Structure 1
Amino acid sequence: MSDTEDNRHTSPPPSKKRFIIFASMLALAALYIVVRYVVVMVNPPDTNPFGPRRSFVERGPILDRNGRILAIQTRLGNITLWKPEADDMETLIRELSPVLETPPEVLRDTIEFSYSDFVYLKRRADQSTVKAVEEAKAEGRLRGVGIEPIVGRIYPEKNLASQIIGFVGDDNTGLAGIEYAFDQQLGPNDGSPGGSQIILTIDANVQHILEEIARKTYTENEAEAVMLMAMDPRSGEILGSASIPDFDPNDIRASDERSRMDRPAIWAYEPGSVFKIFSLAALMDSGAIRGNTVFTCNGRYERVTNLGERITIRCLGSHGPVTARDIIIYSCNAGAAYAADRLDAASFYQGLRNFGFGGRTGAGAPGETAGFLRPVERWSERSKPTITMGQEIAVSALQMVQAASAIANDGILIPPKIVSRIVSPDGRSVRPYESGQAVRILDSETAQAIRSYMVDVTSGIGTGWRANVEDLSLAVKTGTAQLIDSSTGAYSDEDFIASCIALLPAESPSLVLYLVIVKPKSEYLGGRIAAPPIREAAEALVDYLGIPRGRNPQISHSGEVSITANPAAAIGETMPDLTGYSKRQLLPLILREDIRVEVIGDGWVRRQNPPAGTPVSPGDTVTLELE
């Protein structure tokens, strides 16, 4: 036998060699991991030979408009258990239950049904809980229980504005709400030791008032959900946005998808008769109808199309001759439908688009819906009269308060916003959040006429008389909408949406309130169950926000109306004295494209630059400071 043959029989095959090499490498890797684990456990952080641990970085806080903390970074702890070290499991469970605020049976199930000897008893425990566990362990109790330090997020106000604020995951990155939408700003970047502060337009006190009223409404009506919003129409700032049911972001695992939903931003629904104020405004502004145009309501709207199809829309009553004012006061379906016949579909569609329907508002809420407004090419013969009364169109609550701003601001639409400004970690840089530009969409006379009709809705003959507030004028519209039955595809006879919108004070609104009750039980008419909570919210917020009371005389008219408004600010070739002008009166200046107008603060003009009498040329900047 040759040497070559001997070597071939005594050497292992190539596959065996590879296996030996692989096994050796695996053994070395396992040894390295064990050594590393032992060294890290024995050595304190500052003497760790494997390098420094990653430094702690601060996630920026979220605050309300007054600086009240709504979300902030903190040190938390996961409470753990190593079962082999536990002496008496029942005693341990009994002692831990009050400390972790967890029922004994829940702890017992968590431990018994764990597939591992290592169990997480409570994640993201706050400092008080961690301290209680530490003290018990120092006394020699709770053997086997450990504390895993983590960096976390706490929400001091718990459920307050929870859907707006959102929450973070275990890795401290945003998963919902403002935490998600502004994750890059809140998280540190560019080597900064901390993230930026997000200042919301939300007022925590207003939010609390709205949530209390919404929760009460939710309970009393056994509803599926309730939304209640408050917005300053002059600036578009959302002062409060309640959505019930809600959740506590400190305990996200105890919540469900329904309670975490930011309904005012992401849920689209048919608004019902509240929508008539926008439909009528679009029709009047186009010139298709006038304030004194008369329609006849005999209890239904009927029309036969060119194809011979008969369209019938029922009304809640037989109102006889009605004008635009009567259509709003009585919420007359037939009158609204006949009014819609006066305008072509394309023009009507554009009028609704001008209000912002069919598009996102850009308020700052993630996942915002654009709603649903089909292109005219996909409309049927029934679409125009049906849309006029708030069906065959889907909106969000944010879109509704945005559209209401145009009625409140004498025709100028102001996009809503939830975020006010972003402040750098060092506090030196402040960047305002821009949600969109103000734009005129209606003549001032149209908006004023619609408001005057809405004032009469609170009278004894209107559907919104239950919203009436003594010594305060409200412009109100109520609504009731049928929901689609998913099983049949037709409108349900049992599921409704009741709603009410209010602008106050009616003469010069500084507050928009909008309430939606989803699937109330028993009573479902908006005038009956949605108007009273609006009254309650108005009473509370008027006092808190300092809105002056004192009802101005209501306007009685048989047709068109002309309301004397405060003079709007205007700048000609020279700068006028604008001292004492309100932000509302300054709105036309903001829309000018030839000069730049910067408005700082709220209230009335106290200082201006340039001073009165100074020549003004295209391209100049005018600064107005309000107090």
Structure 2
Amino acid sequence: MTAVVGFIQVMRSPSRNGLSGWRFLAQTLAIAIFAGILLWRLITLQVLEPERYVEHGENQRIRSAELAAERGAIVDRNGIELAVSSPRRSIWADPRLITDAEGTAAAIVAYAGGDADQLIRRLQNEEAKFAWMARQLDDETADGVLALELNGIYATEEQARLTPGGDFMARGILGRTDIDGMGLSGLEKQYDDLLTGEKGRVVIERGLAGGERVTIPNGRFELVTPISGNSIVLTLDRTVQFEVEKLLERHVVDAEAQSGTVIVSKPSTGEILAMATVERTDQGVVQVSGNNRGVTGIVEPGSISKPLAIGALIEEGLVTPHTQVSVADSIEIYDRVFTDSISHDTTNLTTAQVLETSSNVGMALLADRMTNATMHDYLADFGLGQPTALNFPGEADGILHPADEWSGVSLPSAAIGYGFAATPLQMLRAYNVFANDGVLVEPHLVSGVLNPDGDFDILSPNDGTTVVSEQTARTVTSMLAGVVNKGTGQLASVPGYEIAGKTGTARIAQPNGGYRDEDGNVHLLTSFAGYLPASDPQLSIIVVIEDPTGDASGGRLAAPLFGEISNFSLQHFRIPPAAAIGGD
């Protein structure tokens, strides 16, 4: 109290200028306010928000970086790498440290390529702390950029996706990833979750020394090791895949066709050994396509579907291989005329001869013995109108309209391969029914998953389902062997081996709803499907050549390619000849 009174007295006492007391009061109040601010700041730091400021301090010292995980490999049935990830260096910039954006961009583009204007825009963004300059460079290029010692330019390691067999090997199957390693198409997309690993992280503590930030010895250090992704083991055989692509390209070029597709499988297991599509580009170049038309493209298959109708008729007890029909070269059913490819006098043909000569009129007459519903149900049982168990990205379902929507010409049309649509793989799956004694086995591309610890998990295919009896399957196989031995498929033959197969030549439906384009031209789909050896099938193959030029047919174009692929595959897999169908 005495001090307060004294203070008041001082303020009231006169001074030489009359202002000293008030100046003293102002100074004292200023000091008190400043002390209060400091006290409040201290309370905030120590009591109210300590975590916030501790975190801020740590942010100045602690640095963390994400560690990329290696993406799993995709390998063929023999462990040969088809797609792998490999370390590559990428160049990045801290725009805040760039003083000459134009010069820096020009120097980088000179070594690593790229768009200089785009790099300049990135470098001039002063608010950014990070900007990519060039990604996933080879060592020589990365070293060249770093040797320039450009201010604010650094390198970091990434995982680049590579295809050791080249950019086109199995392109439509493998698919591709984006530059960040995310699957965009094909198996890379389908199995992206399995192939993608778990990223790691490294945390270090840094401080200032000599004006530079350096790692603090014995400071904080944490490391979470990245976990590599799983590898996918395919059923493909790289050697056969390469040969199929090479032969298919040559045949499509020779036929002046627009595209071609080949699938090779092991019928007893459904393993796909090779699958390729080649297409003619707008520039006229024929090359392996990224569009896997074996599962994405649907067309009316034409005559290669005739064995399915024959199988249904035999299974129902409506015909035998020796059943005869009187076949003219054309027949009118309702408002449609069905004709054979070659004009001929009316003749008696057996069921086997109808198949051997691929008579459309004969098939229409035979099919008339069953109902729409029966034909529809058998086609569905053979797997038409529904996707395979492959679950491949973009796989088409096919088209098979309900039987109650069929018209008066739907039955004979379906018997010769029109009025429904299927992918090449769906047709091969149907042929495998006959090769497997009447059992439908789903095709598959992946045999298993190999995890980073070396454990292999087998991906078992679905159990097969019976479509026709063993006797019916073997009867149809014998008839298909006749097609190659003495019918339209003779150019598919391989010396020493008996082949069961069927030719196909179909008109391709046009956008206008008909089978002629706006100029009146017809476009053809030529094909051959079959399996071998006929009495003990080890391989099944379908060949499709689309829109060839000139006088084309499945027997002239697709059958010879089938023979070449068969000959190579038999030697590669060392498959010996088997007894003739029905022989000892």
Alignment counterpart, residue 87 of structure 2, candidates 41, 54, 75: 75
Matches within 5 A, 1:44-443: 49-78=61-90, 84=100, 96=111, 110-111=115-116, 116=121, 118=123, 124-126=135-137, 129=138, 131-137=139-145, 140=148, 149-158=157-166, 159-188=168-197, 193-245=227-279, 259-303=289-333, 309-317=334-342, 318=344, 320-428=347-455, 430-443=456-469
8 Å contact 1:77–1:124 — kept in the other structure?
yes
Instruction: State the one-letter code of the partner of 1:201.
Output: T
Q: Distance in 2 between matches of 1:426 and 1:334?
A: 61
**What are the superposed Cα offsets for residues 148-193 of structure 1, whole Å, 9 maximum, x if unpaired?**
6433322212221121111112332211111111112222369981
Matches within 5 A, 1:26-41: none
Instruction: State the one-letter code of the partner of 1:515.
Output: V
Q: Percent same amino acid among aligned pairs?
A: 27
* Corresponding residue number in structure 2 for 1:514: 542
Rg comparison, structure with higher value: 2
Deviation at 1:92, TM superposition (A): 7.8
8 Å contact 1:272–1:390 — kept in the other structure?
yes
- Aligned pairs, number: 485
Q: Distance in 2 between matches of 1:517 and 1:218?
A: 7
**What are the superposed Cα offsets for residues 319-363 of structure 1, whole Å, 9 maximum, x if unpaired?**
621122112111100011111100011111111111111111112
Q: Distance in 2 between matches of 1:284 and 1:181?
A: 40
8 Å contact 1:214–1:228 — kept in the other structure?
yes
Q: Distance in 2 between matches of 1:62 and 1:80?
A: 30
Matches within 5 A, 1:573-584: none
**What are the superposed Cα offsets for residues 47-103 of structure 1, whole Å, 9 maximum, x if unpaired?**
98344222322222111111111122222344679894565999986x64xxx6x7x
Q: Distance in 2 between matches of 1:394 and 1:298?
A: 27
Q: Distance in 2 between matches of 1:374 and 1:60?
A: 42
Q: Does 1:537 align with 2:577?
A: no
* Corresponding residue number in structure 1 for 2:489: 464
8 Å contact 2:494–2:563 — kept in the other structure?
yes
Q: What SS class does the counterpart of residue 283 from structure 1 fall into? A: helix
Unpaired runs of 5+ in structure 2?
Answer: 1-55, 125-130, 201-225
Deviation at 1:231, TM superposition (A): 0.3
**What are the superposed Cα offsets for residues 251-276 of structure 1, whole Å, 9 maximum, x if unpaired?**
xxxx9999321111111111111111
Q: What SS class does the counterpart of residue 295 from structure 1 fall into? A: strand
8 Å contact 2:258–2:280 — kept in the other structure?
no
Deviation at 1:382, TM superposition (A): 0.6
Q: What SS class does the counterpart of residue 229 from structure 1 fall into? A: strand
283 and 53 in structure 1: CA distance in 2 versus 1, 3 angstrom threshold: same
Unpaired runs of 5+ in structure 1?
Answer: 1-35, 41-46, 248-254, 304-308, 555-562, 566-627
Q: What SS class does the counterpart of residue 499 from structure 1 fall into? A: strand
TM-score (norm 1): 0.71
236 and 246 in structure 1: CA distance in 2 versus 1, 3 angstrom threshold: farther
80 and 462 in structure 1: CA distance in 2 versus 1, 3 angstrom threshold: farther
* Corresponding residue number in structure 1 for 2:481: 455
Q: What SS class does the counterpart of residue 264 from structure 2 fall into? A: strand
411 and 475 in structure 1: CA distance in 2 versus 1, 3 angstrom threshold: same
Q: Distance in 2 between matches of 1:264 and 1:331?
A: 24
Instruction: State the one-letter code of the partner of 2:497.
Output: L
174 and 359 in structure 1: CA distance in 2 versus 1, 3 angstrom threshold: same
8 Å contact 1:454–1:477 — kept in the other structure?
yes
Instruction: State the one-letter code of the partner of 2:80.
Output: R
Q: Distance in 2 between matches of 1:182 and 1:89?
A: 38
8 Å contact 2:249–2:286 — kept in the other structure?
no
8 Å contact 1:279–1:388 — kept in the other structure?
yes
* Corresponding residue number in structure 2 for 1:527: 555
8 Å contact 2:119–2:133 — kept in the other structure?
no
143 and 193 in structure 1: CA distance in 2 versus 1, 3 angstrom threshold: closer
State the superposition RMSD in angstroms.
Answer: 3.3
Q: Distance in 2 between matches of 1:240 and 1:300?
A: 40
8 Å contact 1:364–1:418 — kept in the other structure?
no
Alignment counterpart, residue 504 of structure 1, candidates 523, 528, 532: 532
489 and 87 in structure 1: CA distance in 2 versus 1, 3 angstrom threshold: same
8 Å contact 1:472–1:505 — kept in the other structure?
yes
**What are the superposed Cα offsets for residues 557-587 of structure 1, whole Å, 9 maximum, x if unpaired?**
xxxxxx368xxxxxxxxxxxxxxxxxxxxxx
8 Å contact 1:295–1:323 — kept in the other structure?
yes
8 Å contact 2:87–2:160 — kept in the other structure?
yes
**What are the superposed Cα offsets for residues 496-544 of structure 1, whole Å, 9 maximum, x if unpaired?**
1111112111111110011111111223211111111111111111100
Instruction: State the one-letter code of the partner of 1:473.
Output: E
Q: Distance in 1 between matches of 2:234 and 2:144?
A: 41
Q: What SS class does the counterpart of residue 522 from structure 1 fall into? A: coil
Q: What SS class does the counterpart of residue 537 from structure 2 fall into? A: coil
Instruction: State the one-letter code of the partner of 1:219.
Output: V
Q: Distance in 2 between matches of 1:48 and 1:320?
A: 95
Q: Distance in 2 between matches of 1:536 and 1:174?
A: 34
Q: Distance in 2 between matches of 1:232 and 1:495?
A: 32
Q: Distance in 2 between matches of 1:509 and 1:256?
A: 32
**What are the superposed Cα offsets for residues 209-256 of structure 1, whole Å, 9 maximum, x if unpaired?**
111111112222222211111000011100110111399xxxxxxx99
TM-score (norm 2): 0.75
8 Å contact 1:226–1:516 — kept in the other structure?
yes
